[in-house]
Amino acid sequence: MLFSSGIFIFLFLPASLIGYQLLSRFGRPALLTWLSLASLFFYGYWNPSYLILLIASILMNFLFARKLGEGRSEQSQSRWLVIAITANLGLLVYYKYLFPLLNFFHEHGVIHRSFVDVMLPLGISFFTFTQIAYLIDLRQQIAKRQGLLPYSVFVTFFPHLIAGPIIHPRELMPQLDEGRIRGLRVDDLALGLSWFIMGLTKKVLIADRVAPLSDVLFAHPHAAGISTAWLGSLAYAMQLYFDFSGYSDMALGLARMFSLEFPFNFNSPYKAQGIIEFWQRWHMTLSRYLNEYLYTPILRWVNGRRMDAGKKVTRKASATLEGFITMVAFPVLTTMFIAGIWHGAGIQFLVFGVLHGIYLTVNHAWRIFTPQGHRFHKKIPAPFMVVLNFLCVLVSLVFFRSANVHDAAYLLGTMSGIHGIGAAFGSFPFLDGIPATSKFLVHTSTTVVALAVCFFIVWALPNTQEILGQSRADETRMPSLLPRLTWKPTAVWSFGLATLFCVVILLLDASTRFLYFQF
């Protein structure tokens, strides 16, 4: 069931909210049971057979959790943690990588048989990662062991089940405690619904409307001229941002309707002035996950080896070439290599990851070798940094979206003019594949205007949590043309958002799946 579907908006969501409120008088167990059942129904509505997989995964990890945490010996805990992580990753590998990998070998003549890919269970990466984090936190005694009911809500709670945000046990579990979890609160309902509508608008009115252009371009990259290649690639950059950040806004809004708070997942990433900052603002919970569970352990391992060898692990040591390679470049590249593989079983995803690893390494080098206040910093204006950063991301997104590396390389060649100017945008032969609900994409002028509007929103307007006044207190607002645009529960906002909601609903049937569902 998609958040952007009539069934979800008009049937599932009201029913789950009403049920939650009605059961609130029966206390915490009733509320947790309701949330758990509603979430399982939400998941099973897509494909009931994979519900068994989800439940089995929850039960398996719940049993593993009993072997970890307080009262267990260190050695036993380490052993069980390795077994648990292996089992979780084994499940992920089976569904996500095994058959594409075997077919890759088949295509290259290594094996003779080809295989039919198994259908990827929705959200398998997300619920696997969430549970691994729980087990590691238990092992490190950061998290407390939970009963089956709160644990199943932690894993399955429908706003984050399919595509995140990736939640830490320490973020959600305390909110499910006795006394904290209770019925609906009207102020949270108002805020959550407003947040949801804003996210839905990003998805349906923007992402889904520009998506057809990137779809036709990436389906036929060899037929595109330079203008089509640029406009299609920019359309994809906008589609991906508005699709995924819209989804995340909806998830945060839905959770807030139940008075539960999720961590932010996007914070104006295209306003970033460097790639490090970009990853601090893009898919933030994944970045955090990678940082805590991949980058940091790798860095600790590297530092341990250096210390064993009598080498320093200080900031000053990382400013030497040898220190930089081992303490910065190696952990960053390894982490992003794995992040690339996580996104999919294709070489293009691996290139995407490695490319970002290189970007990050260069950015770290810039920071280390030209520290704050360096004369270079004063000479480069911020807008230039923002545009440069965006272009770097755009190059990586061409790999991310292309069917293979060859198509991506060809398209980048077209964008850089290697293949000449090529046919004009209006002559791209596949524009007739654009549906009626995005017909403005068949003319150059209207396409440029549409993309300009997208750029205006991402570069000149505050983001959703800034508008809703939900940014962290210690965080300064990013520069925008409307810094005072702040949501208030007033009649103007109410009628404005209600109108937007109705307009969006008119286009729900022309909406597509969320891009991150495939991961």
CB nearer to another protein: give 427 or 494. 494
Contact present, 241 and 517 (Cβ < 8 Å)? no
CB nearer to another protein: give 2 or 458. 2
Q: Which of 291, 457, 497, 517 binds another protein (CB under 8 A)?
A: 497
8-state DSSP, 269 = G
Q: Which of 115, 293, 455, 501 binds another protein (CB under 8 A)?
A: 501
Q: How far is the CB of 505 from another protein (least distance, A)?
A: 5
Residue 506 in contact with another protein, rule: CB under 8 A: yes
Spatial CB neighbours of 246, under 8 Å, sequence gap ≥ 6: 199, 200, 201, 202, 203, 204, 206, 207
Q: How far is the CB of 17 from another protein (least distance, A)?
A: 10
Q: Which DSSP helix (H) or strand (E) runs through 210?
A: helix 208-219
Phi and psi at 165, nearest 5°, equal: -60, 155
CB nearer to another protein: give 49 or 490. 490
Q: Which of 142, 320, 507, 517 binds another protein (CB under 8 A)?
A: 507
End-to-end CA separation in angstroms for the chain: 16
8-state DSSP, 5 = S
Q: Give residue 373's region: left, alpha or beta (phi > 0; psi -120 to 50).
A: left
Q: Which of 110, 116, 309, 502 binds another protein (CB under 8 A)?
A: 502
Residue 480 in contact with another protein, rule: CB under 8 A: no
Amino acid at 271: K
Distance CA 45, CA 7 (A): 11
CB nearer to another protein: give 43 or 459. 43
Q: Which DSSP helix (H) or strand (E) runs through 380?
A: none
Instruction: Evaluate the omega torsion of the peptide bond into residue 165 and state whether it is cis, within 30 degrees of 0.
Output: yes
Residue 460 in contact with another protein, rule: CB under 8 A: no
Distance CA 227, CA 213 (A): 12
Would you give the binding string for another protein spanning residues 160-199, x where CB under 8 A is met? --------------------------xx-xx--xx--x--
CB nearer to another protein: give 494 or 518. 494
Distance CA 460, CA 41 (A): 40
**Which is the catalytic residue, given 160, 168, 283, 343?**
343
Q: How far is the CB of 54 from another protein (least distance, A)?
A: 23
Q: Which stretch binds another protein (CB under 8 A): 107-115, 248-256, 304-312, 501-509?
A: 501-509
Q: Which of 176, 290, 392, 508 binds another protein (CB under 8 A)?
A: 508
Q: How far is the CB of 163 from another protein (least distance, A)?
A: 21
Would you give the binding string for another protein spanning residues 4-23, x where CB under 8 A is met? -xxx-xxx------------
Please work out the total of residues on this chain that contact another protein, with binding judged by CB under 8 A.
Answer: 30
Would you give the binding string for another protein spanning residues 36-75, x where CB under 8 A is met? ----------------------------------------
HEC-encoded secondary structure of 301-323: HHHHHHHHCCCCCCHHHHCCHHH
Active site residue 343: yes
Contact present, 100 and 345 (Cβ < 8 Å)? yes
Give the DSSP letter string of 436-467. Answer: GGGGGGGSHHHHHHHHHHHHHHHHHS--HHHH
Q: Which of 98, 493, 512, 517 binds another protein (CB under 8 A)?
A: 493
CB nearer to another protein: give 197 or 254. 197
Residue 189, CB-side half-sphere exposure with 13 Å CA sphere: 11
CB nearer to another protein: give 6 or 429. 6
Enzyme catalytic residues: 343
Residues that bind another protein (CB under 8 A): 5-7, 9-11, 186-187, 189-190, 193-194, 197, 489-491, 493-495, 497-499, 501-502, 505-510
